[in-house]
Amino acid sequence: MKAVGVTPRQKEVGIIDHSAPDLQQDDEVRIRTIDVGICGTDREICTFVYGDPPAGSNYLVLGHEAMGEVVEVGSEVEHLKVGDFVVPSVRRPCRDENCLPCREDLQDFCSTGAYVERGIKECHGFMTESFVERERFLTHVPPELRNLAVLMEPLTIAEKGLAQAWDAQSRLPWVRHHANGKPTGKGLNAVILGAGPIGILGAMTMKAAGFETYVYNRSPLPNPKAEIVEAIGAKYISSNDVAFRDLPGLVGSIDLVYEAIGISSVAFEVLSILGVNGVYIFTGIPAPGDSIPVDANQLMRSVVLGNQAVIGTVNADDASFKAAIKDLAYFKKHWPEAIEAVITKRYAIDSCRELLLDRATGIKNVISFD
């Protein structure tokens, strides 16, 4: 089978020959790959600072944002059937008996670090014609979401972030006094930092949750990302026009920040203007390197005097995948053109090197095996 892979020892990126997988266990499902998204993590793996092949392999098949069709089910598969569309999760639990998160299906909170991630860490990914996965790591996708479901995995990052923000803010009346048991962002301000795929999907998630939503991004207006942001009823603010210090004057108190920019200097500037009782969610993973100066005294004062919560979020659990299905359906219903515009273009596998190695363009590029 054709696959897109990296061979770190030879520093090679491109199409490789990968053997077709068979079912090994009765709870496994074989999937024909349809769409695989390309993200910053993939591009970073292609610079060889991140990502590891599985034990015994000198290459790693890339791809962790996938959608495919079930073509074979093992005898113990309970809910999925041939013809169903599915999205796999990324992280697989470690084997340590004492790792409570992994033992309770919360491997996104793995405490040993010995987890593996498909297409990233010690386990092949999905950028290949077909793959095998256990049923418990797959989420069923309704057919009407088939063309959008490649966005599910990056959307789960926002879903997990928001779920943690609700948890942190259950200390406050704005979450505690909600009607019908569902927390709402109504009357609260969210600033999304960055307008890449994670930022735009984050903006959609916060907007759908009821927040007054602002996206703060470098690119000057007008631009296609700003058009998407405005189409969902959020406001796009370019750092060209508004300095970060002036954001609270424009937005009001910033109750939630969803950082999706990965640039620590900007991320910490915006942390310094987080509102009283606010929550700040980090999602970016900057490459290790030079240190940057920050005004730590001011930051520490405002975190303490403002009861602020700073949360990092990586990967996602099953509940976040379920939430992503619901939100994707909501986005499609309310903002059909905007959500479709998040997928910039579908390419054949032959374009993989340009997509992974050249300057990033558009929002979400997808390799399609269909």
* 320 is a contact residue toward Zn ion (CB under 5 A): no
* 118 is a contact residue toward ligand BGC (CB under 6 A): no
* 116 is a contact residue toward ligand BGC (CB under 6 A): no
CA distance 179 to 6: 50
* 120 is a contact residue toward ligand BGC (CB under 6 A): yes
Strands (E), the chain: 2-7, 12-17, 28-37, 60-61, 65-73, 85-88, 91-92, 116-118, 122-123, 130-134, 138-141, 189-193, 212-217, 235-238, 256-259, 279-282, 309-312, 343-347, 364-368
CB atoms within 10 A of CB 297: 8
Binder to Zn ion among 39, 62, 73, 251 (CB under 5 A)? 39
Q: Are strands 65-73 and 256-259 parallel, antiparallel or unpaired?
A: unpaired
Size of the site for ligand BGC (CB under 6 A): 11
CA 261 to chain centre: 12
Interface with ligand BGC in residues 2-41 (CB under 6 A): 39, 41
Beta-carbon contacts of 86 under 8 Å, excluding residues fewer than 6 positions away, are 29, 31, 67, 68, 69, 70, 80, 138, 139, 140, 141
* 175 is a contact residue toward ligand BGC (CB under 6 A): no
Size of the site for Zn ion (CB under 5 A): 2
Nearer to ligand BGC, 89 or 128 (CB): 89
* 117 is a contact residue toward ligand BGC (CB under 6 A): yes
229: its two tokens: 């942001």
Binding mask 241-280 for ligand BGC (x = CB under 6 A): ----------------------------------------
Least distance from C-beta 283 to ligand BGC, angstroms? 9
CB burial of residue 177 (10 Å; 0-12, 13-18, 19+): exposed
The CB-nearest residue to Zn ion is 39
CA distance 14 to 113: 28
212 binds, among Zn ion, ligand BGC, none (CB under 5 to 8 A by kind): none
Interface with ligand BGC in residues 293-332 (CB under 6 A): 314-315
Which of 9, 105, 2, 93 has its CA nearest to residue 51? 9
* 155 is a contact residue toward Zn ion (CB under 5 A): no
* 124 is a contact residue toward ligand BGC (CB under 6 A): no
**For residues 98, 124, 91 and 141, what is the CA-based torsion angle, rounded to 10 degrees?**
-140
Interface with ligand BGC in residues 78-107 (CB under 6 A): 90-91
34 binds, among ligand BGC, Zn ion, none (CB under 5 to 8 A by kind): none
Least distance from C-beta 73 to ligand BGC, angstroms? 25
Q: Which residues bind ligand BGC (CB under 6 A)?
A: 39, 41, 64, 90-91, 117, 120, 153, 157, 314-315
Q: Which residues bind Zn ion (CB under 5 A)?
A: 39, 41
